[in-house]
Chains A and B, each alone.
Chain A
Amino acid sequence: MTWGMHEAAATTERPVSSTRQQGCGAAGGADATSAFSRAPMLSVCDLTIRFGGIVALDKVSFAIGAGQILGLIGPNGAGKTTLFNCVSRLYTPTSGDILFNGASLLGQPAHRIAQLGVNRTFQNLALFRSMSVLDNVRVGAHARSRGDFFTDALRLGRARAEQRKIDTRAAALLADLGLESVAYRCVADLPTGTQKRVELARALAGEPKLLLLDEPAGGLNHHDVEELGRTITGIRDRHGVTVLLVEHHMNLVMSVSDTVVALDFGRKIAEGTPEEVRNDAEVIRAYLGGAAT
């Protein structure tokens, strides 16, 4: 059952709180942070992003404590994926800030985010389609390994050692997610459910502290969704990975999340325990008015 994950990743870290972080918490409303016993790992502060006339995110603030699972829900077009894209630095927000362990992510280029410990999956699968399952997972370990053209071209000892490290981790992840039998298959030939698991394995190969999952249950059948729920809590419980989960599958979100945040038209309309958010009048209205699931 070992994930081959570094021990450091398995212990949940208590980030040193900074003045900036507290400032952000205040801006997000006192209730946003007081709900957590731990200092937040990720704080989203007044995050706003516009595309032309569309305000895709409108002063959204919330925070996730280390070791938590936060469910992010909202009707289609609410801005959930956009928020993920801001955190992974694929988009640059118009205003606001994103703090990871107290430091702003906005000054970082996109390729540094994984190194800092934030990894993600994509709503519409973004696998490396010409590669095998194994190679996809190996690429996931890129941020946690080193190498260059020269050492790789000559297969110097260092390159081989890194390769072994990557392979050990990839093999452990494939075993853990039940992907061993398809390890050498081209990902493009596999069913959607399997591809989703490959994306999960690829994201975990980066040894994240924070994992962003964008609709991991999309296209899965009932049985697979239950299994996915166990996998997600397993990732958190056994290795202390903090999870930000975007999902339309309400049963899944409500059963695994510690906290749920609801977005609608780019605004945060509710935040609280799954029970509170499920019964929130505005959430119910948003779902009845918009595309319900």
Chain B
Amino acid sequence: MAQQDISFSDTAVRGLPSVEQNSWALWGTVLFLAVAIALPFFLRSFVVFQLTLAMIYAIAIIGLVLLTGINGQFSLGHSAFFGIGAYTAAVLMDQFGVSFYWTLPVAGVVCFVFGFLFGLPALRLEGIYLALATFALAIAMPQILKSSLFEHWTGGVQGIVLIKPDAPFGLPISSDQWLYFLTLAIGLMLAVCAMNIVNSRTGRALIAIRDNPIAARAMGIDISLYKTLAFGVSALFTGIAGALSGVAIQFVAPDSFTFNLAIGLFVGLVVGGVQSIPAALFGGLFVLFVPNIAESVSKGLAGAVYGVILILVIYMMPSGAAGLARLVADKVLMKAHRKGPR
């Protein structure tokens, strides 16, 4: 049953009184899919492109959910992994003629390795110190990408221009639409994987480490291993997002992957709800659209407007969109219960 893939933290266990599983999640998923598939046929191609980008950010934010929300490690440096993913794909396509589709898993693996390696020294750092170390990574990355050392491949400050793939099999859709569907499919797949992780033995170990590292160790959880792997897996998600973004924008340049991007992803994580995988989509939409909305309100004061919107959102949804959704669902369910037979 589809319910298994979108289960909440507890699926029913044989021998125990079963939880009342609501079919909301299932219907929500079906509705979402229907809308998501229909949208590109009704929207202008620029909006389709924007939605693609929002989904790409959402994928990157899923990486942060696993790292920060689930495992309790902070990162202000995920722009670096996003950039490494984008450049891995771009260099492979531009220099080695690798097909775009193959660059995605390669970018994921490369970022996993980088994330894992970065996670090793990060083991010694907690909370704000880890945030600082990752901040340093974010600051360094654009400069490393510009460096003359790699200029031959990366094109230095010029960056690399890429070409969007056309829809395969002669499908009668534009390349924007095709990239949208591809991103949607990859995003869903990665979201399901992430939810599987959260609801598994591995996910429980990650949460246990966040909740109580001492007790986690006493239960036999190898904290160092799980923390570094969480860093690697988080970077993997973000790296795949980076690779997709390079192609979607058809251009990679060092200054696309500055600290601003890292902060943007972090904001997306928080407004979505740090522990919710589906809410990453809300985070992605926020990251993409709210700056534009702010700019349309006032060009000169876009930054201030963005700030006000952000504060309002956090004030109204202190535990993110996921928290709000849960609150509403609880209210509705409670009403349904009162009317219901029991």
CB contact list, B9-23 vs A, under 8 A: 9-10, 13-17, 19
Contact with B along A126-139 (1 / 0, CB 8 A): 11111110110011
A180 touches B211 (CB 8 A): no
Among the 9-residue stretches A10-18, A72-80, A145-153, the one with 4 or more Cβ atoms under 8 Å from chain B is A145-153
Q: Interface code B191-213, partner A: CB below 8 Å = 1, 0 otherwise?
A: 00110110011111101101110
- Asked if B217 CB lies within 8 Å of chain A CBs, one says yes
Interface size on A, residues (CB 8 A): 51
Does B233 sit at the interface, judged by CB under 8 A? yes
A113 contacts B218, C-beta separation under 8 Å? yes
Tell me whether A152 and B197 are in contact in the complex, defined as CB-CB below 8 angstroms, given that A139-B219, A171-B16, A172-B15 are known contacts.
Answer: yes
**Contact of A142 with B217 in the complex, beta carbons under 8 Å:** no
Instruction: Please determine whether A142 and B212 come into contact, CB atoms closer than 8 angstroms.
Output: no
A112 within 8 A of B: yes
The answer to whether A163 touches B219 (Cβ under 8 A) is no
B14, B15, B202, B210: which contacts A148 (Cβ < 8 A)? B202
For window 111-132 of A, CB contacts with B under 8 Å fall at: 111-115, 119-120, 122, 126-132
Give bound CA distance, A154 to B215, whole Å: 28
Contact sample, A vs B, 13 pairs, CB 8 Å cutoff: A127-B211, A127-B215, A129-B211, A131-B207, A132-B9, A138-B204, A145-B201, A148-B202, A149-B197, A149-B229, A153-B194, A162-B201, A180-B17
- Check A171 against B13 for contact (C-beta < 8 Å): yes
> Given A131-B211, A180-B16, A181-B17: A88 and B218 within 8 A (CB)?
yes
Q: For A168, list chain B residues within 8 Å (CB).
A: 14-15
B20: nearest residue on chain A (CB-CB)? A184
Structural contact, B13 and A135, CB atoms closer than 8 A = no
Contact residues in B for A166 (Cβ distance below 8 Å): 201
CB–CB B201/A142 < 8 A: yes
- Contact partner of A135 among B9, B15, B17, CB < 8 A? B9
Scoring B residues 217 to 254 as 1 if CB is less than 8 Å from chain A, else 0, what string do you get?
Answer: 11111110000010001000000000000000000000
Contact A149 B233 (CB under 8 A): yes
Contact B214 A126 (CB under 8 A): yes
Whether B215 lies near A122 (C-beta < 8 A) is yes
Q: Which residues of A contact B (CB under 8 A)?
A: 88, 90, 109-115, 119-120, 122, 126-132, 134-135, 138-140, 142-143, 145, 147-149, 152-155, 159, 162-163, 166-168, 170-172, 174-175, 180-181, 183-184, 202, 206
- Is B39 among interface residues, defined by CB-CB distance under 8 A? no
**Which of B194, B197, B218, B220 interacts with A90 by CB under 8 Å?**
B218
Interface pair B16/A111, CB less than 8 Å apart: no
C-beta contact mask, B1-12 vs A, less than 8 Å → 1, else 0? 000000001100
Using CB atoms, name the residue of chain B closest to A186. Answer: B9
Is the Cβ of B218 less than 8 Å from the Cβ of A142?
no
B106 at interface, CB cutoff 8 A: no
Q: Is the CB of A128 within 8 A of B202?
A: no
Measured between alpha carbons, how far is A90 from B221 in the docked complex, in Å? 13
Decide if B220 touches A149 in the complex (CB within 8 Å): no
Q: Is the CB of A111 within 8 A of B221?
A: yes
Tell me if B123 is interfacial: C-beta within 8 Å of chain A: no
B208: chain A residues within 8 A (beta carbon): 128, 131, 139, 142
A206 to B219, CA, bound (A): 7
Closest-CB distance, A84 to chain B (whole angstroms)? 10
Residues of B within 8 A of A183 (CB): 10, 13, 16-17
Contacts of A170 in B (CB 8 A): 13
| Distance between A292 CB and nearest chain B CB, rounded to angstroms | 30
Shortest beta-carbon distance, B285 to chain A, in Å? 25
Inside 8 A of B202's CB, which chain A residues have their CB?
147-149, 152-153
A-B pairs with the 8 shortest C-beta distances? A143-B220, A114-B220, A152-B200, A171-B15, A126-B215, A128-B211, A153-B193, A152-B202
| CA A129 to CA B215, docked complex, whole Å | 11
Q: Given A139-B219, A167-B14, are A152 and B196 also a contact pair (CB < 8 Å)?
A: yes
In the bound complex, CA of A154 to CA of B200 (Å): 10
Contacts of A134 in B (CB 8 A): 10, 13, 16
Query: Closest CB of chain B to A135's CB: distance in Å?
Result: 6
- Considering the chains assembled together, what is the distance between the CA atoms of A119 and B217 in angstroms? 11
